[in-house]
Structure 1
């Protein structure tokens, strides 16, 4: 039967092996992987087009970007739209929306920004309308490395998750393979946290998913690659958030939303909007968080009903109204989310989105009620989270316990809060979660006024020791220009 199969060729003309599921030869796969992270090397005559001449004459880097993306050479390889804006955004450390605004808006005048674009896209200097600053040797990299080493205890053993890519042995371009990888990452993340896994997910995206995204048509297989990339990029956003890197998380979420539009999963886009809403809450932007969640809820009305996704979006809106001190609206949305969650789904839940169950809703309700000052109900909801989260759900169980501890302190029960928090310390010794460490620091500040009691004093001593052992997490802070322990508590 194999002898009757038609011979297949890569776009470059190389005959493909019969077991090649990607549709690209090995050299082209390598180029595709590199293409996601940095621009390709280009011949000198690449810049010799009328579109480039007009863009340079207009002194508009956005028009240069558009001419670059839609260059005939790129259209021949990547299709009629050329290089996607989301890919250029990745090269420059921006979002797709920012690229779109720069391409269609007023000309950028800031020299640092223009220099960054010119060097990233490797624009020949003689074509530019501005002078590139001289590149002089510096010790910045050495200082950064020294700061990172100083932030990490010398006796600490590097996590194996950061040293190697996952060896799942998964076939490229295969739906079951992508979903299996997603489930494996998700299961590990629940136990060890995003700090340990973030780099590994990025490596998997580059090595396993990226080669399938480019050089293929928008058939079902092509859309599958973009769907997998969107889902895994959204997961990378959560892991970046859990590692305290919210700017990176915001960029991941924005890019995953763009990638999802090229995929074939209706639910995934609304799931990503819920994630963007969560991050906006954490950044202290309740109005933006409500808007993201509303967008998701409105999109849900145009297809079959999925109660758990609908409930999650309602809960995100409720958190926004709690932050805005609108208890009636918040309570109404939480009650509606509880009712919706009991409904039967009209379609199967997508494998690309995470569960939102009773425990998830209880966690969101506890956050809202604590913020609104309804400590009795907040305590009951936090206890519900702990009841529904088994020991292997280390991080989410810890979040419920820490909410309960803060409620107990507010109720004048600091000794009980210390007992709950001690359970968190014992269970999260191997958990790489900046968010948990941050909440422990918040808890420490709340307990300080009660240090006069023996139980609290003894626990604070244990907490200080535990936080010193987890200082390796500060390496993320060093990269963002914050290397002192107090910085952990500044973001809320």
Structure 2
């Protein structure tokens, strides 16, 4: 009734009532733990008696070879081999990078709560909603910097656990909307991680789950986010469906969408039109996307829209030109990105640089493609993005048929970097 008076949904009112997450002390605890500052020198208590212990236990549990009562490939764990460390002993570099990104999970009792989820819980409260929200934000930050490969399985297992936990718990009817919204947010994030990890076949079930939960909670924000991701997922193989999803997102967000959200949805429609070889539709939607982007950010922008920057606008333009068979124009867009890195979105910058090499190849400029590939090779190796790696492998496959010195240099460097 109160939500009706205010003209907002129950889920929105619930978020207002419960207030923003308390994150500042969590950050201080996390930083103090990473820097190994003695607790006696702090004005607050650290949540861990042995720094790093719970993080290691968490990783072992969520990346172990056990399959918790399911053979669903979407929740299969990551298996990584240890590699020799230069200083002696064995260190799994990729897992270390991932754990560093996920270390924030140990900073505010999240791991304790997840551990308790193994046991039967009679009731569920707002602290569990905050848990889901904290997980999503941590995954989003780590993914933007590092890529999704090593995060994907962990996120899938957490989604499986929290969903089962919520299904077996008891909670009030009014609280259910906030719970479903939180799980929809988590499902959307897991779907994106699957896309970037080049595990696209696993993404769609999570998007379907997000849409279902968003409908139950009457949360149009998460529903539109899922539709935007579904448009991204289907644009290459099913561009007509991609277009329908983006248009559905525009309809569902009419009246409340911010300029940044409209920008994203217009970019999705533009890219879908490009894959449909509809130049007029592409140009029309790109013009609308630029017009919306020029309105600037807004305080009501959803957190996941942080990647909608000038870099992304230029990148989608380049990808669309590739789809339209205009590699020279695509290369112009990708070069603009490569020369002006976007702070905070390292993974996307590397991805578009790899696509620059692909565009140069399509222009017949194998020398430039080889030099671009060689330049970005160390960055791709340090990244955990299966999607980016797939495109670099395609560049290597094409250059492998060339006899020029730059092409051979890139192919040899690629094989050295990724030999097993």
TM-score w.r.t. the length of structure 2 is 0.68
Q: Could you say which residue in structure 1 is the equivalent of 2:233?
A: 279
CA contact (8 A) 2:228 2:246 kept: yes
Measured against aligned partners, the alpha-carbon deviations of 1:186-214 in whole angstroms (never above 9, x if no partner) come to 11112322110112223433556764564
SS state at 1:217 partner? coil
Q: Could you say which residue in structure 2 is the equivalent of 1:215?
A: 170
Instruction: Pick one of 106, 113, 116 that aligns with 1:167.
Output: 106
Call closer, same or farther: CA 1:190–1:355 in 2, change over 3 Å: closer
Distance 2:417 2:231 in 1: 32
Call closer, same or farther: CA 1:192–1:347 in 2, change over 3 Å: closer
Q: Could you say which residue in structure 2 is the equivalent of 1:254?
A: 208
Structure 2 residues not aligned, in runs of 5+: 1-66, 85-90, 114-124
Instruction: Pick one of 316, 319, 329 that aligns with 1:367.
Output: 319
Call closer, same or farther: CA 1:442–1:342 in 2, change over 3 Å: same
Measured against aligned partners, the alpha-carbon deviations of 1:22-77 in whole angstroms (never above 9, x if no partner) come to xxxxxxxxxxxxxxx999xxxxxxxxxxxxxxxxxxxxxxxxxxxxxxxxxxxxxx
CA contact (8 A) 1:394 1:427 kept: no
CA contact (8 A) 1:294 1:317 kept: yes
Call closer, same or farther: CA 1:228–1:388 in 2, change over 3 Å: farther
The CA deviation at 1:323 is 1.3
CA contact (8 A) 1:231 1:353 kept: no
Distance 1:226 1:246 in 2: 24
- Structure showing greater Rg: 1
Measured against aligned partners, the alpha-carbon deviations of 1:245-299 in whole angstroms (never above 9, x if no partner) come to 22211111111111122336432211110100111124x1111111111110111
Instruction: Pick one of 307, 311, 315 that aligns with 2:267.
Output: 315
Q: Could you say which residue in structure 1 is the equivalent of 2:46?
A: none
Distance 2:239 2:336 in 1: 25
Distance 1:38 1:178 in 2: 20
Instruction: Pick one of 423, 427, 434 that aligns with 2:386.
Output: 434
CA contact (8 A) 2:311 2:342 kept: no
CA contact (8 A) 1:366 1:379 kept: yes
Distance 2:327 2:241 in 1: 26
Please list, as runs of the form range in 1=range in 2, the aligned pairs for 1:284-433 lying within 5 A after superposition.
284-301=237-254, 303-343=255-295, 348-351=300-303, 354-390=306-342, 393-433=345-385
Distance 1:246 1:338 in 2: 28
Call closer, same or farther: CA 1:434–1:344 in 2, change over 3 Å: closer
CA contact (8 A) 1:193 1:431 kept: yes
Distance 1:460 1:177 in 2: 45
Instruction: Pick one of 165, 185, 190 that aligns with 2:139.
Output: 185
Call closer, same or farther: CA 1:268–1:355 in 2, change over 3 Å: farther
CA contact (8 A) 2:243 2:268 kept: yes
Higher mean C-alpha deviation, range 406-415 or range 199-208: 199-208
Instruction: Pick one of 461, 465, 471 that aligns with 2:412.
Output: 461
The answer as to 2:181 corresponding to 1:227 is yes
The CA deviation at 1:159 is 1.5
SS state at 2:384 partner? coil
Distance 1:162 1:290 in 2: 38
Distance 1:414 1:352 in 2: 37
Call closer, same or farther: CA 1:296–1:245 in 2, change over 3 Å: same
SS state at 1:268 partner? helix
Higher mean C-alpha deviation, range 345-354 or range 327-336: 345-354
The answer as to 2:407 corresponding to 1:448 is no
Distance 1:391 1:427 in 2: 15
Please list, as runs of the form range in 1=range in 2, the aligned pairs for 1:22-61 lying within 5 A after superposition.
none
CA contact (8 A) 1:194 1:243 kept: yes
Measured against aligned partners, the alpha-carbon deviations of 1:74-106 in whole angstroms (never above 9, x if no partner) come to xxxxxxxxxxxxxxxxx89699xxxxxxxxxxx
RMSD (CA atoms): 3.4
CA contact (8 A) 1:405 1:418 kept: yes
- Aligned pairs, how many? 327
Distance 1:325 1:294 in 2: 17
CA contact (8 A) 1:195 1:432 kept: yes
Structure 1 residues not aligned, in runs of 5+: 1-36, 40-90, 96-143, 470-492
SS state at 2:217 partner? coil
CA contact (8 A) 1:265 1:350 kept: no
